């Protein structure tokens, strides 16, 4: 029996597409099962490692992976599983928290631009500039007319990065409020996980519908042909790992990095005179 078909375009938000998150299953896994998915994940990681090494050597392009989700959707574990084995010289993660006073003294994209990936590197944003339209919308942190402008600012910012050879993929890990509550309970039962829990997380759950609406608006306004959004069902973690790894692998294959040409003749190393 062959492997089930996995087409990442099934999770892609097309430019201008209307999004209704309530209609998207959060526990979807198609015809995949865990053992087969983890085997495919291993194959994907092997290829990702190879392509990342080439990307680093080429030093002409970079890849930006944006991860957004509600709390307890599995961003940290997904990053850990998908990037396992990648040379840390060529891959890094940054997490964006509440802006500090210095960051608030600049435009909302100032701190983001400083963390954009350098040539030859993969950069993963664990939360991102999208916090500034999602949280801002839920809690009315900016005027509505300014919020509308931020969608355009983000699209222009991402276009600027793309023009500088940055490939961008954006992934929303999609869960239900019931799943989130179960994960919160799970965290509290394990000392090594309990530190992640914050009492304010429960307060934010009251705004679930508002967050879903804010996510939908961000997905609808900012999924472009050049920098697409993907909605990944995240409640079966092994399927989540598989899909995210496939999105990253496809992006690297599209980039098609090449090893640089040598500026010397390697055969010279075999010359006895050279080896003296």
pTM across the whole model = 0.94
The domain tally of the chain equals 1
**Helix, strand and coil percent figures for the chain, each rounded to 5:** 50, 10, 35
Pairing verdict, β 12-13 and 166-174:
unpaired
Contact 65, 171 (CB under 8 A): yes
Contacting residues for 144 by C-beta, under 8 A, at least 6 apart:
none
Q: Is 95 helix (H, G, I), strand (E, B) or coil?
A: strand
Question: Has residue 44 been placed in a domain?
Answer: yes
- Can you give the pLDDT at residue 195? 77
Question: Has residue 123 been placed in a domain?
Answer: yes
- Can you give the pLDDT at residue 266? 73
Contact 230, 251 (CB under 8 A): no
Contact 153, 222 (CB under 8 A): no
Question: Has residue 102 been placed in a domain?
Answer: yes
Question: Has residue 126 been placed in a domain?
Answer: yes
- Pairwise CA distance, residues 64 & 52, whole Å: 12
Q: Which domain holds residue 241?
A: 15-256
CATH code assigned at 185 = 3.40.50.300
Torsion angles phi and psi, residue 41, rounded to 5: -60, -45
Question: Has residue 269 been placed in a domain?
Answer: no
**Helices marked H in the chain — which ranges?**
34-58, 75-82, 101-104, 110-113, 131-138, 144-163, 177-188, 191-194, 199-205, 208-222, 237-255, 272-275
Task: Encode pLDDT of 74-110 as tens digits.
Answer: 999 999 999 999 999 999 999 999 999 999 999 999 9
State the 10-residue block means of pLDDT for the chain, 276 residues long: 88 97 97 97 98 98 98 96 96 95 96 98 97 96 95 98 98 98 90 75 92 98 98 98 98 97 76 64
Task: Encode pLDDT of 8-40 as tens digits.
Answer: 999 999 999 999 999 999 999 999 999 999 999
Question: Has residue 10 been placed in a domain?
Answer: no
Question: Has residue 168 been placed in a domain?
Answer: yes
Question: Has residue 242 been placed in a domain?
Answer: yes
C-alpha distances in Å from residue 182, one per residue of 98, 185, 201, 219, 224: 25, 5, 13, 26, 34
């Amino acid at each position: 029996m062959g492997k089930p078909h996995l087409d990442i375009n099934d999770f892609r938000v097309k430019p201008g597409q209307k999004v209704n998150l309530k209609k998207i299953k959060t526990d979807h896994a198609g015809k995949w099962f865990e053992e087969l998915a983890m085997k495919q994940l291993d194959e994907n990681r092997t290829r990702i490692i190879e392509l990342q090494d080439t990307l680093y050597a080429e030093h002409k392009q970079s890849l930006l992976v944006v991860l957004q989700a509600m709390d307890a959707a599995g961003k940290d574990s997904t990053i850990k599983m998908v990037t396992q084995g990648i040379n840390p010289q060529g891959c890094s993660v940054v997490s964006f928290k509440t802006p500090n006073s210095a960051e608030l003294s600049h435009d909302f994209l100032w701190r983001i631009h400083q963390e954009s990936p350098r040539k030859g590197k993969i950069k993963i944003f664990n939360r991102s500039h999208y916090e500034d339209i999602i949280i801002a919308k839920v809690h009315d942190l900016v005027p509505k007319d300014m919020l509308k402008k931020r969608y355009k600012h983000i699209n222009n910012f991402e276009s600027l990065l793309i023009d500088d050879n940055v490939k961008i993929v954006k992934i929303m890990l999609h869960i239900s409020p019931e799943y989130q509550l179960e994960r919160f309970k799970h965290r509290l039962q394990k000392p090594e996980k309990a530190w992640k829990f914050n009492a304010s997380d429960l307060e934010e759950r009251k705004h679930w519908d508002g967050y879903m609406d804010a996510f939908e608006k961000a997905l609808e306004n900012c999924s472009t042909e050049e920098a697409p959004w993907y909605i990944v069902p995240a409640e079966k973690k092994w399927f989540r790992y598989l899909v995210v790894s496939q999105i990253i692998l496809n992006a690297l294959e599209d980039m098609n990095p090449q090893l640089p040409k040598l500026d010397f003749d390697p055969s010279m190393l075999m010359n006895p005179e050279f080896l003296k």
